[in-house]
């Protein structure tokens, strides 16, 4: 098996990526650009995470924002996940419609106006948890739910180092006590160690921060008279390392498909990425040693972490997509690289798969290099 190495200029990271194989015959049938998911790799990722959490005695509640697919969510729950995490009320609505109705909306909600109505409606047909990180937010959740507030559980978010949402661990107790006073059922604390994405060396420390922060926050709740039954950590780079101690639940999302970033971080193996883009070479400039594919920012996004070069890698050509416009990706062929033929279908591995999925209506499902099914991206566009 050949592992293609994409050297990243100006970086110490040598990034091997081995995308799933797609036969030439299959490539000829694909209407490009297409999002292709290798079923066996995806199912292996689902099983690996489920088994690891089961061994550690930690509940798994995968974040469904990566796949936005009822079929994939069902497979995760079928493999042992206790429910799903979602990022928006819109995602909660879609998954509840699909019968996946144990859901955690994992951000500090401040529901008002139509959002309050929608939250209340989904709370009536799903087992729902929501996040808060302020007393103001707790009031908004309580007001939105009105007489239905007893139907929803609440978790207080803490910032363990990611510097996004969440209170300091020591402030979790007072927020929890205020929410309880408003009649909300506070069941625990959660955090997202997003700083594990800073580079391959950041993962272990971020996992440690998640465990320490959550342990302190759980103590803060107890001191405020609220017993935390759920202590929830979650990100793909930290999931294996933070599933210990006070942590009772993990919420990784990206692991289900993986991407170029997760390989570079060392969170997944080089041959684990399950979701790739099939794109067609539409222009070749032999003199300039440049070619263009029909996948640009509206397929690959413009997401480029500091430790990766380019917008995606094309391992079979040892190349990266150097520049993107809306519908086109430009590849400057480096020394030793070969130019493809016009019309050739290539396979690109996106840097960050989650926003890529949201740009497609369907997944082409592949097994052994052939397309065997098509699934909808059910929660596509449900960003609020
Ligand atoms: C609150 C929360 N939980 C879990 C996750 C899943 O993390 P990852 O995408 O690293 O799998 C995210 C990702 O953004 C998140 O924001």
In the three-class reduction of DSSP (H, G, I as helix; E, B as strand; rest coil), residue 79 is classed as: coil
Minimal-distance CA residue to ligand 1 atom 7: 235
pLDDT (tens digit per residue) in 78-87: 999 999 999 9
Using CA atoms in the order 252, 255, 258, 264, what is the torsion angle rounded to 10 degrees?
A: 70
* Share above pLDDT 70 across residues of the chain, in percent, rounded to a whole number: 96
Q: Output the pTM of the full model.
A: 0.95
pLDDT > 70? residue 20: yes
> What pLDDT shows up at residue 14?
47
Ligand 1 lined by 234 (C-beta under 6 Å): yes
The closest of 351, 348, 352, 293 to 324, measured between CA atoms, is 293
pLDDT band at 10 (very low <50, low <70, confident <90, very high): very low
> What pLDDT shows up at residue 5?
40
Ligand 1 lined by 106 (C-beta under 6 Å): yes
Q: What is the mean pLDDT of the chain?
A: 95
> What pLDDT shows up at residue 298?
98
CA distance 109 to 91: 14
Ligand 1 lined by 192 (C-beta under 6 Å): yes
pLDDT band at 169 (very low <50, low <70, confident <90, very high): very high
Stretch 234-259: mean pLDDT: 98
User: 31 CA to middle of ligand 1, Å?
Assistant: 31
> What pLDDT shows up at residue 15?
62
Stretch 159-172: mean pLDDT: 98
pLDDT > 70? residue 1: no
pLDDT > 80? residue 224: yes
Minimal-distance CA residue to ligand 1 atom 8: 235
* Structural contact between residues 275 and 364, judged by C-beta atoms closer than 8 angstroms: no
Phi, psi for residue 349 in degrees, rounded to 5: -105, 115
> What pLDDT shows up at residue 237?
98
Which atom of ligand 1 is nearest to 234's Cα? 4
pLDDT > 60? residue 3: no
User: 252 CA to middle of ligand 1, Å?
Assistant: 6
> What pLDDT shows up at residue 138?
98
Neighbours of 30 (CB within 10 A): 17
pLDDT (tens digit per residue) in 32-63: 999 999 999 999 999 999 999 999 999 999 99
Ligand 1 lined by 251 (C-beta under 6 Å): yes
pLDDT band at 337 (very low <50, low <70, confident <90, very high): confident
Ligand 1 lined by 203 (C-beta under 6 Å): no
Which of 52, 63, 91 for mutating ligand 1's site (highest number of atoms within 8 Å of CB)? 63
pLDDT > 80? residue 8: no
Minimal-distance CA residue to ligand 1 atom 12: 235
Which atom of ligand 1 is nearest to 190's Cα? 1
User: 254 CA to middle of ligand 1, Å?
Assistant: 8
* Structural contact between residues 116 and 146, judged by C-beta atoms closer than 8 angstroms: no
Tokens linked to 141: 């959740």
CA distances from 303 to 66, 106, 312, 347, 352 (A): 15, 22, 9, 18, 7
Ligand 1 lined by 33 (C-beta under 6 Å): no
> What pLDDT shows up at residue 11?
38
* Structural contact between residues 323 and 329, judged by C-beta atoms closer than 8 angstroms: yes
Minimal-distance CA residue to ligand 1 atom 5: 235
C-alpha triplet 62, 77, 153: angle, nearest 5°: 60
């Amino acid at each position: 098996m050949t592992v293609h190495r994409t050297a990243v200029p100006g970086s110490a990271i040598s990034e091997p990526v081995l995308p799933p194989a797609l036969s030439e015959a299959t490539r000829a049938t694909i209407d490009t650009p297409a999002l292709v998911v290798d079923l066996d790799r995806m199912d292996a990722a689902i099983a690996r995470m489920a088994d690891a959490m089961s061994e550690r005695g930690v509940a798994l509640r995968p974040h469904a924002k990566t796949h936005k697919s009822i079929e994939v969510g069902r497979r995760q729950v079928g493999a042992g996940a206790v429910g799903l995490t979602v990022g928006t009320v819109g995602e909660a609505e879609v998954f509840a419609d699909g019968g996946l109705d144990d859901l955690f909306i994992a951000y500090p909600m401040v529901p008002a106006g139509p959002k309050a109505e929608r939250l209340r409606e989904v709370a009536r047909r799903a087992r729902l948890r929501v996040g808060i990180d302020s007393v103001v937010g707790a009031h908004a959740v309580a007001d939105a739910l009105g007489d239905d507030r007893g139907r929803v559980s609440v978790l207080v978010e803490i910032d363990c180092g990611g510097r996004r949402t969440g209170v300091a661990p020591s402030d979790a107790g007072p927020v929890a006590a205020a929410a309880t006073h408003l009649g909300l059922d506070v069941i625990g604390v959660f955090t997202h160690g997003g700083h594990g994405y800073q580079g391959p060396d950041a993962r272990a420390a971020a996992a440690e921060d998640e465990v320490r922060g959550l342990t302190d926050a759980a103590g803060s709740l107890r001191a405020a008279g609220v017993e935390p039954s759920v202590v929830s950590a979650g990100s793909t780079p930290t999931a294996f390392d933070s599933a210990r101690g006070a942590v009772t639940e993990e919420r990784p999302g990206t692991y289900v498909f993986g991407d170029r970033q997760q390989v570079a971080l060392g969170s997944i193996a080089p041959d684990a990425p399950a979701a790739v883009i099939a794109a067609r070479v539409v222009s070749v400039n032999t003199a300039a040693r440049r070619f263009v594919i029909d996948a640009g920012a509206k397929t690959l996004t413009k997401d480029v972490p500091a430790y990766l070069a380019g917008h995606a890698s094309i391992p079979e050509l040892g190349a990266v997509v150097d520049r993107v416009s809306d519908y086109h990706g430009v590849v400057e062929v480096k020394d030793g690289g070969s130019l493809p033929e016009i019309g050739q279908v290539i396979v690109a591995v996106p840097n960050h798969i989650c926003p890529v999925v949201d740009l497609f209506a369907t997944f082409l499902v592949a097994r052994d290099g052939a397309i065997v099914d098509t699934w909808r991206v059910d929660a596509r566009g449900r960003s609020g």
